[in-house]
Structure 1
């Protein structure tokens, strides 16, 4: 008997341990998040955030490519080798054509250091090159190999009165890069806004599930009370059936609330990159930050920090660049100048002995005499587009300021409404608890109890809706100004590149 008791105790201990391990594993599958924790998790892991990071990296390398255009370029060119064995038709002085056998090889190498002149749009370079020619069918006694080359020369290529792409790129590309960096911060804040919506979609589904479970329990308790009263002849049969119908409706509401909770969890896990089997436990962010937002200050911050503010300057500059491009296409003048030395020899070292002077100056000209109004149309179109950009930007500036003004006012209104719904929720909850106790003692009818319950549920949902609106507006305000009003710090600080 004693052995059986010990065996029974051991079995209980094993079952308890297994149960504890199961509960521990179950607890590990459930992840608890606050709103700010989940927002940060989404910024670090969500596909949308990762795409924004990829775009930021692409913009960075595009800017690096632009900057490299203004650095010296050392370039090696050449052909190694160019061998040919064929018959070439050679025209003779009398007009006849004689096929001549060719068996030769040509090799050339060149090294040049090139630098863009950003102010003028020209290019200056320092070059050296060498060439080797091998004639494998040379006559006996004739040299088979010849060398030629340019020990050094300096070349300048300078467009005159032309569109200077380098000058305009130097004004536009830094604006584009700065705009892209601010857009990245804005995209991160948009991720915050979206995940906040998902957070409250799940949280409200979680609250609805808790409401449905509480209502189902209370309705079952009420049904049990009314069945006893019906047995005593106090509650009529039709009222009992009505309460039974309420039990069935509560069961249906419970099933719908559970389905909504699972659907919200699926959407949340997909967005933030969690496993679909992970269970979420979201903490209601009821402790809202206390700070005031001044409209003028918010507008000032938006113009100071937002990508759109940079974008307006960039649009104007691009429009001016198009006008300059149209003006530069009216006629084209190109100056080419080159000065240096060249030589030819049968031995490679002799190329650098007493080389000959090499000089070249040329001015190319292309001026349309009759273009049927093409230049005028091109110029007029560019100027009309510039005027359109100016007018569009002026209107966008007004809309931009109006948007900030509206969002700040809306935030202040939502904050006030949240305080009202918080009190209403507390009052409705206490009223229902009192009504339930009075119903249990027979001092309140089932109709009044149902009204109290509906008001309790309605005010609870209104409170969480207002809470959602507050936090969405909170992150919208951050995105619109790139400023954290709670901690009084900038979300983006320009860096010197």
Structure 2
């Protein structure tokens, strides 16, 4: 299994000290692939594993993080919150039925009562004044009006006089129409659907952002653990070279200076191995925290991280990527929504100043009687029409200042959106244009790693034969380690770029299908 440890514990490696070739290439003679006996990690690490150890792959870890991590839960909660917010908006345009009343409303007190001659008499009262009403309201988004259809009955009991009366309104139709006011319902009809669609697309972007972050942390751990493995191999190889060097020194074939240098190299390698283990542990903690992975218990084997294959090679035309991004990204809707909100704020500034009026009209039937059934007979017409208005006559430029402030904010929003649109387009085009370059970097890094491993193998064999200096061997070893790390970094850049392009376009260029939420 091509895997490295994902654990707090240091890597446990068994290295063949007699092998002079160091690390074989990830691609053998060629430039790609990890399979077969040419897989360098398979020969790099002979890892002491328990049979129950679990291997984590990058796709599986991404899916697990989306399902169980705090970031995945927050993304789903944000999407669900947007859904219920949209449901609230939809309900605003639907009829609302409500039952309201005060039952009972009993009072026993001594109250002042003004007499016909102007004097005040204090009388004891014991009454109940209850009411119950049923109303059906409907908002009219086009004009901002509200239509009310209702029915109400009121019962009055005077217990001292043993009297009872009913005041009944079996049917009432009312209309409230603002004139000159800001119509929030009309603007909500234009903005809320955009907000809902933007929220759904943002969920897809959040998922791809999580995948990108997991990829970065995954390769951070992988790189540090490869560094730890390389450091451990170097330490053991240096110890073997020191043993051979002491034998040569005893035979007079190695100078004391070179022997001291070998001892110093061993100390440096051991220090590098210790530091690499600490770095690997730190990176593993970050990955476990973000992905909500359990911390390995003492005495149990931690999961392994499998080395991913290179990211899929995509044939992406930048102009096509931009078209997909403009069609599917949340930012496209956000640009429209922000401009509409700025225009709405201007309309609101104008709709809360100047001449404002409210037309109220209602008609219905009403009657009163000692008995409830009698109150439904001989109903009388009831009408009411009112026009309330307000007009500021002197405001010292207040209305003009409020409107102008909103207009300037709208202009600023339009300028900012225009700039962000250009930045958005450039980001997509740049990322799409980098896809071939990232794939090329992986191929070149694999080839460089192949050459570096071979060079080290030849240099070490030549050094052991006594035909090269220790300096040449040190340089070859450093080049070998650098090539190994460069390959892992190239893999990282390729996978991060892959998920970044998906997040920027919300389009899967492998299947040629838009991304869809579960």
Give TM-score, length-normalised by structure 1: 0.90
- The Cα offsets for residues 391-432 of structure 1, whole Å up to 9 and x where unpaired, read as 221111111111212222333333322222111111001111
| Contact 1:152/1:340 (8 A) holds in 2 | yes
Residue 432 (structure 2) pairs with residue 408 (structure 1): yes
Residue 446 (structure 2) pairs with residue 427 (structure 1): no
Deviation at 1:433, TM superposition (A): 1.3
Residue 108 (structure 2) pairs with residue 85 (structure 1): yes
Partner of 1:102: 125
Match of 1:183 among 202, 207, 210: 202
Residue 218 (structure 2) pairs with residue 199 (structure 1): yes
Separation (CA, whole Å) in 1 of partners of 2:215 and 2:418: 33
Separation (CA, whole Å) in 2 of partners of 1:303 and 1:155: 47
Partner of 2:44: none
Partner of 2:90: 67
Deviation at 1:27, TM superposition (A): 4.1
- The Cα offsets for residues 353-388 of structure 1, whole Å up to 9 and x where unpaired, read as 121111111111112122222222222222222222
Residue 471 (structure 2) pairs with residue 447 (structure 1): yes
Separation (CA, whole Å) in 2 of partners of 1:457 and 1:362: 87
| Contact 2:114/2:120 (8 A) holds in 1 | yes
Separation (CA, whole Å) in 2 of partners of 1:356 and 1:447: 113
Partner of 1:283: 306
After superposition, where does 1:79-478 map in structure 2 within 5 Å? 79-138=102-161, 144-277=163-296, 279-329=302-352, 330-478=354-502
Separation (CA, whole Å) in 2 of partners of 1:210 and 1:431: 20
Number of aligned residue pairs: 467
Deviation at 1:435, TM superposition (A): 1.7
Please, which runs of 5 or more residues in structure 1 have no aligned partner? 1-22
| Contact 1:265/1:280 (8 A) holds in 2 | no
Deviation at 1:174, TM superposition (A): 0.8
Deviation at 1:99, TM superposition (A): 1.1
Separation (CA, whole Å) in 2 of partners of 1:288 and 1:314: 36
| Contact 1:227/1:240 (8 A) holds in 2 | yes
Moved more, 103-112 or 328-337: 328-337
| Contact 2:310/2:442 (8 A) holds in 1 | no
| Contact 1:305/1:492 (8 A) holds in 2 | no
Deviation at 1:307, TM superposition (A): 1.0
Q: Partner of 1:103: helix, strand, or coil?
A: strand
Partner of 2:42: none
| Contact 1:179/1:310 (8 A) holds in 2 | yes
Deviation at 1:304, TM superposition (A): 1.0
Give TM-score, length-normalised by structure 2: 0.87
| Contact 2:311/2:498 (8 A) holds in 1 | no
Separation (CA, whole Å) in 1 of partners of 2:113 and 2:220: 86
Deviation at 1:68, TM superposition (A): 0.6
Separation (CA, whole Å) in 2 of partners of 1:461 and 1:384: 53
Please, which runs of 5 or more residues in structure 2 have no aligned partner? 1-46
| Contact 1:332/1:366 (8 A) holds in 2 | yes
| Contact 1:85/1:103 (8 A) holds in 2 | yes
Partner of 1:488: 512
Partner of 2:75: 52
| Contact 2:314/2:436 (8 A) holds in 1 | no
Deviation at 1:190, TM superposition (A): 1.0
Deviation at 1:239, TM superposition (A): 1.1
Q: Partner of 2:104: helix, strand, or coil?
A: strand
Separation (CA, whole Å) in 2 of partners of 1:101 and 1:26: 92
Q: Partner of 2:253: helix, strand, or coil?
A: coil
Separation (CA, whole Å) in 1 of partners of 2:244 and 2:391: 102
Deviation at 1:442, TM superposition (A): 2.7
Deviation at 1:461, TM superposition (A): 1.0
Deviation at 1:25, TM superposition (A): 9.8
Separation (CA, whole Å) in 2 of partners of 1:291 and 1:411: 7
Separation (CA, whole Å) in 2 of partners of 1:125 and 1:27: 73
- The Cα offsets for residues 433-453 of structure 1, whole Å up to 9 and x where unpaired, read as 122222233333322111111
Deviation at 1:94, TM superposition (A): 3.1
Separation (CA, whole Å) in 1 of partners of 2:313 and 2:345: 49
Separation (CA, whole Å) in 2 of partners of 1:394 and 1:371: 36
| Contact 1:151/1:351 (8 A) holds in 2 | no
- The Cα offsets for residues 119-140 of structure 1, whole Å up to 9 and x where unpaired, read as 11111121111111110111xx
Q: Partner of 1:68: helix, strand, or coil?
A: helix
Moved more, 152-161 or 93-102: 93-102
| Contact 1:265/1:279 (8 A) holds in 2 | no
Separation (CA, whole Å) in 1 of partners of 2:513 and 2:426: 23
- The Cα offsets for residues 185-227 of structure 1, whole Å up to 9 and x where unpaired, read as 1111111111111001100011111111211221121111111
Separation (CA, whole Å) in 2 of partners of 1:444 and 1:346: 121
Deviation at 1:308, TM superposition (A): 1.0
Separation (CA, whole Å) in 1 of partners of 2:154 and 2:116: 29
| Contact 2:313/2:439 (8 A) holds in 1 | no
